[in-house]
Chains A and B, each alone.
Chain A
Amino acid sequence: MNTVAAIEPRHAAGQRLRERVFRGATLAAALVVLALLGGVAITLIKGSWPAFSHFKLGFLTTEVWNPVTDKYGALAPIYGTLVTSLLAMLLAVPISLGIAIFLTELAPSWMRRPVGVAIELLAAVPSIIFGIWGLFVLAPVLQRSVQPFLIEWLGPLPVIGKLFQGPPFGIGILSASFVLAIMVIPFISAVMRDVFETVPDVLKESAYGLGATTWEVIWKVVVPHARAGMVGGIMLGLGRALGETMAVTFVIGNAHRVSTSLLAPGTTISASIANEFTEAVGDLYTSSLVALGTLLFLITFTVIAAARFMLLRLDRRALSSV
């Protein structure tokens, strides 16, 4: 009796101490997450300060990028980043929607898992692999068959014809958009599939009960119900496309200029950094590249934050793939 009474308080004190240590460790680790984002922001702003203070707002609006004269403007990379990503979304969203519909409504149950996993595996392929494949396989195919076709049939048209001028280089804005589209399809379709699966069966069954076809159920019941989540998934894909580096670096051609033609070589923010950062000599050059990184960070942060906000309303656990 006595020994128990003597040991008990000491034991309890030990337990309380360990509790405090463990709890503190988990809290500290959680705060590391916050510190990282803050650290990234501070590092980028500090690194880009010389460029921003030297070029002021003109940095955003000038096209010239000349290491010899030490003049840098971000217009071409910004333009390339936005155009390739938007084009990629135009290609990827309909295909992703189709895949999500197929996986949730159409595929026989034995097929769902293997096909779903295969699409997810496409997301696991590293971006450098997409780059080397895009450069050696996709770009020649585009150059030989797709681009001459576009130049011949769409080139003479008024207005949109301007987008398809010039020789078929193979590499350029259009090829980069293609590769980006293939890369973001698995992300968007995975989110859409998960969102579709959150639609209650009762809703779908009532529509079927009224005589709706499968397509009508999807378009008039599932899609409206899942709209916020779908937009979230698309934004998440857009965030990926905007920041994608290696695949784009291989196929975009790396030319610091703004061309109306989608067939012309261009550059993106991430491709410029990847290509030039280790070779950049001079503080202003390096700082301009970090400034590009800061812009990319701002753009992707906004897009990703918006995406997460749209997905927040959904049950996190239903969105296993995000």
Chain B
Amino acid sequence: MNSSLLTGPAQRRRAVRKFKNVVALTLSGLATAVGLFFLAAILWTLLKNGLAGVSAALFTEMTPPPGGEGGLLNAIYGSAVMTVIGILIGAPIGMLAGTYLAEYGRNSHLSSVIRFVNDVLLSAPSIIIGLFVYGVLVIRMGHFSAIAGAVALAVIAMPVTVRTTEDMLNLVPQGMKDASTAMGAYPWRTITNIIYPAARSGIVTGLLLAVARISGETAPLLFTALNNQFWSSNLNQPMANLPVVIFQFALSPYKNWQQLAWSGALLITLTILILSIVARFVVSALNPGARR
């Protein structure tokens, strides 16, 4: 009787459950394969099309007219300048704001509002930031300029640094802060002499991620920095930059422009992926206790 029960519907049900299990888990494995496939496909396309255009000229010559010879020097320079200025404006403000959220205003009502607003800014569409900076700076100055592009990038970098700084300061053990306070130190001294050094690797990671985030941004630069076919180091003038050059060149009908777009795309993607990997390495090497 017992054995007849086991060979009957009960066993069939068990077989069905096991089958479902195998199917579901296989599908989840497949889903992961799909995700990895797209990363591989994109990198492969970039390498295949981009490497063909990598030469000394790419780094030493200006963007050419259609059909002419040239490189991306002015665009690489412009991207570097605007990214650096963007970080120099955005990161200090972001770090101070993150410090406020993690230390002075940890539990205040104001802080939870600011945290929420920061999270919204963190995921706000970057083209909106472009429109904002256009309305605030470009219209008032009367023309497109590198400084407007840098400010737009700063607005995007800031929320990233706020978030990472707060998270990293929160990882510093309370006991260290208490010890410093017990020695009679004012909070500013505890923060600058104890907490910042303890969270250094995390803060560096946040900065690297912020650089990675803004160095590929295109939409906010379209109508702030615009583009410039020539060499310009004047911050008050439109300045070439890699993302906008890639955008314009890729959609052009000229073969030499398209080739430069691919090479630029390869350049920018490799830079960003290396930054992202280094950022993860920094945090796990210097801070074994922290997640990622």
Contacts and interface: CB of A to CB of B under 8 A. Distances in A.
Interface in B6-26: 17-18, 20-21, 24-25
Contacts of B114: 30-31, 33-34
Interface in A269-317: 270, 273-274, 277-278, 290, 293, 296-297, 300-301, 304-305, 307-308, 312, 316-317
Contacts of A250: 250-251
A129 to B, nearest CB: 5
Contact of B158 (A36, A136, A245): A36
A129 B42 contact: yes
Contacts of B125: 242-245, 270, 296-297, 300
B97 interface: yes
Contacts of B41: 133, 137
Interface in A63-102: 94-99, 101-102
21 contacts: A15-B186, A30-B111, A31-B114, A33-B121, A33-B159, A36-B121, A39-B136, A44-B135, A47-B135, A94-B31, A95-B34, A119-B36, A122-B35, A124-B276, A125-B272, A127-B219, A128-B243, A133-B46, A243-B126, A296-B125, A300-B125
A160 interface: no
Contacts of B129: 40
Interface string B205-244: 0000000100111110011001000000000000000010
B30 interface: yes
Given A26-B96, A213-B20, A128 B247 contact: yes
Contacts of B246: 128, 132
Interface in B136-194: 136, 155, 158-159, 162, 167, 170, 186-189, 191-192
Q: Is the interface of B mostly helix, strand, loop or mixed?
A: helix
Interface residues of B, number: 94
B17 A216 contact: yes
A236 interface: yes
A308 B120 contact: yes
B32 A16 contact: no
Contact of A29 (B27, B38, B100): B100
B92 to A, nearest CB: 8
B119 A189 contact: no
Contacts of A21: 188
B105 A118 contact: no
Given A27-B100, A137-B45, 18 more contacts: A30-B105, A33-B97, A34-B117, A44-B135, A46-B135, A98-B30, A99-B35, A115-B36, A127-B216, A133-B42, A137-B41, A236-B123, A244-B125, A250-B251, A277-B222, A305-B120, A320-B292, A322-B119
Contacts of B272: 124-126
A26 B218 CA distance: 30
A124 B273 contact: yes
B36 A118 contact: yes
B74 interface: no
A18 B92 CA distance: 18
A19 B192 CA distance: 11
Residue among B100, B131, B215, B222 with the most chain A CB within 10 A?
B131
B123 A245 contact: no
A317 B277 CA distance: 21
A215 interface: yes
A127 B218 contact: yes
